[in-house]
Structure 1
Amino acid sequence: MLSAGSRLRRRARSAVRHLRQRAVRAKQSPSTPYRRRAPTSDLERLLELYERTFGSVDNDPSMSTYAKVRRAASEVRKFVKATGQYGGTVRRISGVPLRSQLVGQIYVKTKYRLEPDEFYRFRLYESENRTVAGSFLRGLVDARMRDMVIRSMNVDPASLDDKLGFFAVCKKNGIDTIDVVASFANGDVVWYSRDARPPARDLFAKPAQGVGGHGIEFWTHEGGVYTSQEGVELTAEVLVDHLAALSESTDYLLQPRLRNHPALAVLSSGGLCTVRVVTAMEGPRSEPEVLVTVLRMAASSSTVDNFGEGGLAAPVDPATGVLGPAVKKALAEAAVDFTVHPTTGHPIEGSRVPLWDEVTALARRAHQAFPHLLVVGWDIAVTTEGVVVVEGNSRPGSNLSQQPGARPLGLTSLPGIYLRALQRGPG
């Protein structure tokens, strides 16, 4: 009896033979003229603009039918590989047969040009998600159109990338954020506290230009000594020397370490949870609009909530702050719904982010302090000391925005916001 993998490979070979036979027949007949209906939605207009600007191999009017079919045949192998890697987990959890997954990948690639990783990331093997498959923004499309908008508006997003400058703007505009104790650059230190020394409390150090949680350090204070996650104990003076030495290669910031609000502490393995709130603001006189709300949580032994570093992400109802089931970014686990936290055992689904109205209000006020930016992803923490902005991201990732809860960006007002910004240009 053939194994499931052997049956899948046999079906794939049969599909390739069929496509090749079609290619041979198509080679003998002229290619039909390329036609498409006029776009009717902002998303369709955005995708048409993308194709006119960057081109599309999948829908190239100059490509013959024979070439298109040959290309499709070569891509079947990619679909088979993805099905072999992730299909077994999907079949076990959702009950979708491997053959249906293979056919589904071919369908969404042909109709919407979505790749196998997007098929599994957004769970397009589920009929409910398949009906809105065309509304998911591909990562490359979102990134290229966003950068195109930034160039068209002639704005510099560096005000968010420079964490020290970001802190200064927030303080100037009364935006609650995490205090900076000191900054370190080229071996020198600049103090922002009156005592000009590390305070007697837990501390957090991070690169001033870092992303993704890389290079961060946690220091627990007890008995006049600061202890790292690895168990290294340093006095205040030695800690300053240590951070000054690190700053010889990259600038560092020293900040107080904040703790999760009790309602969120049970949803983390120790790291600070943050709510990603994506807002859009179409000019200084407009009101910021909330587009996406997602809660990120640290899992396992991780001390960071970063989605790309094994953290969990759960969709948040923008009106109520209630959580849906969480997911992980890794495709090998993308089919799994985490209804309870894998480390703490506390329910995720149905829990509510505390002080929710304050979270969304803070995101809107923060965007008003940066009115030149069109779209920002704010990371906001709800702590024992209140609600604070951790940082802003001028290039919020489409995966984090769309994968939790399978909520397509194309169903938000984002496509229209991009188009209007391109029409307005600078200013």
Structure 2
Amino acid sequence: MNYFRRFLYILYYLKESDWKLLGRFIDYASVSSGKSKLSLIFDSVLSVLRYNISFKDYYCFRFYDKSHSERSEWAGTGFMYEYQLRMNPKGSRELLVNKVQFLNHYRLLVKRMFLHISDFSSDSIELNEILRKSERLVLKGSRGQIGAEVEVISSETYTPQKLLDHMKQHHYDLIEEYVIQHPSLNDLSPSGLNTVRIITQKDNDEIIFLAARLRISVNSPVDNMAAGNIAASVDLKTGMVTGPGVFSDITKDSVRVHPVTGKDIVGFIIPHWEKVLELAATAARDASGNRSVGWDIAVTGDGAELIEGNHNWCKLLWQLPINKGLKAELLRFQ
């Protein structure tokens, strides 16, 4: 155990934490557990050192209600940073960090049209074509993370020049054709594209599926948990949702039906499941030195569409939907 490194992590967490959010979590945990706020804060600091987690992890994992043995099972921020750095070295990550490089690398697995801002001008044929072809477009920053730097627009409200100006003003540099999701997923939640997260681990030449989760939008154009959306566990063999939708916000209860549409979450069958798994495995075999990746895959009317890959895939999305620490799943690959 490297305590010096974990002290450095504490400094990082002190600098980067959302203290307003943590304040809400501390208030909630104090009422829920009956423990004083001071004791929770003290315990969270000790837990950062002992279990290699962040302050936020302490509350999201509900460590205030868990024993030492239970706490030891959870993979926290520090552990995941170190693990993913070994599995996905910095020299290999650019493929997954840069969305333009990713889309070009996986061009054969991507059906939607996309354009980088450097490849067109307001009078370019490609820009006019994508505006004409798709009713909605997705604007992104090519290096954006966790749903940041993403905007969905209606094509009919933009001329080519107006779109170009809008992109420059908001620092977007990538346009993608909007993916039309499968009707059953649209019925479940029409506000955003609901993607499947498949986590793969490459072990020598074998591709291992670690987990599958359905990310479900809640009145949001994106489906990231960090944006207030929910995630549910999925059976890898059948593609059936096996658990309720959970929030990363500990003050919100899990839900068995969608809070807006009222559609059942538990028991939902993801269409084209074999195609989803096949797509993830194909992408994982060609990940340029990245061994542990979280793939976001859209399910359409006729199959599966690769959206992106994540070298720093989320430990909350992985563990919270089943309310279980899964660190042991990764220790066998170290």
TM-score by length of 2: 0.80
Q: 1:4 — aligned with what?
A: none
Structure 1 runs not aligned, ≥5 long: 1-47, 58-78, 92-96, 227-232, 420-427
Give the CA deviation at 1:271. Answer: 0.3
Q: 2:266 — aligned with what?
A: 349
Q: CA separation in 2, counterparts of 1:117 and 1:211?
A: 18
4+ runs deviating over 3 angstroms: 79-84, 99-103, 105-120, 123-127, 129-132, 148-151, 185-197, 246-251
Give the CA deviation at 1:340. Answer: 0.7
How many matched pairs?
316
Asked if the contact 2:181–2:300 (Cα under 8 Å) also holds between the matched residues in 1, the reply is yes
Structure 2 runs not aligned, ≥5 long: 9-21
Give the CA deviation at 1:376. Answer: 1.0
- Rg bigger for which structure? 1
Asked if the contact 1:274–1:380 (Cα under 8 Å) also holds between the matched residues in 2, the reply is yes
1:273 to 165, 183, 194: 194
Give secondary structure in 1 for the equivalent of 2:318.
Answer: helix
Between 1:140-149 and 1:318-327, the stretch displaced more is: 140-149
Q: 2:72 — aligned with what?
A: 134
- How much identity, in percent, do the aligned residues show? 23
- Does residue 219 in structure 1 map to residue 153 in structure 2? yes
- Does residue 244 in structure 1 map to residue 171 in structure 2? no
Asked if the contact 2:52–2:79 (Cα under 8 Å) also holds between the matched residues in 1, the reply is no
Q: 2:249 — aligned with what?
A: 330
Change over 3 Å in CA distance of 1:374–1:113 after alignment to 2: closer
Q: 2:14 — aligned with what?
A: none
2:328 to 411, 419, 423: 411
Q: CA separation in 2, counterparts of 1:371 and 1:160?
A: 10
Change over 3 Å in CA distance of 1:332–1:370 after alignment to 2: same
- Counterpart code for 2:98: D
Q: CA separation in 2, counterparts of 1:282 and 1:53?
A: 31
Q: 1:295 — aligned with what?
A: 214
- Counterpart code for 1:122: F
2:317 to 380, 393, 400: 400
Q: CA separation in 1, counterparts of 2:262 and 2:98?
A: 37
Q: CA separation in 1, counterparts of 2:82 and 2:52?
A: 16
State the Cα RMSD in Å. Answer: 3.5
Change over 3 Å in CA distance of 1:159–1:189 after alignment to 2: farther
Give secondary structure in 1 for the equivalent of 2:113.
Answer: coil
Which structure 2 residues correspond to residues 105-254 of structure 1 after superposition, within 5 A? 106=43, 109=47, 112=51, 117-124=56-63, 132-151=70-89, 155-171=91-107, 174-175=108-109, 177-185=110-118, 188=121, 196=129, 198-207=131-140, 208-220=142-154, 226=156, 233-234=157-158, 238=159, 240-248=160-168, 250-254=171-175
Change over 3 Å in CA distance of 1:255–1:82 after alignment to 2: closer
- Counterpart code for 1:54: R
Give secondary structure in 2 for the equivalent of 1:281.
Answer: strand
- Does residue 374 in structure 1 map to residue 307 in structure 2? no
- Does residue 85 in structure 1 map to residue 9 in structure 2? no
Give the CA deviation at 1:307. Answer: 1.0
Give secondary structure in 2 for the equivalent of 1:135.
Answer: coil
- Does residue 256 in structure 1 map to residue 183 in structure 2? no
Asked if the contact 1:170–1:366 (Cα under 8 Å) also holds between the matched residues in 2, the reply is yes
Asked if the contact 2:199–2:212 (Cα under 8 Å) also holds between the matched residues in 1, the reply is yes
